[in-house]
Amino acid sequence: LTICAERAAVCAAVAAGERTIVAVAIATDLDEPARPCGACRQVLAEFGIGMQVALVGRGGVRVDTTLARLLPDPFTFADVFRGQQ
């Protein structure tokens, strides 16, 4: 895998001290708005599966969705610690 713009943005935000991401917008020059790759979906899921996602294509074509729709059954850090008290 390479580092996509979405993961680069998350890394930059975390490096700058951000710990919460509630929404993301992905804009491309494609006619049909592009969706984030699987690796990016997984990284975004660490910040909340209910995250709002705006996908924007050429000419302002926009699709509003949620990360839960794009990644219906994510693995998160909470899964690692589930059951450990």
The whole-angstrom separation of Cα 47 and Cα 34 is 21
State the SS3 of 21-72.
CCEEEEECCCCCCCCCCHHHHHHHHCCCCCCEEEEECHHHCEEEEEHHHHCC
Active site residues: 6
8 A C-beta contact, residue 24 and residue 6: yes
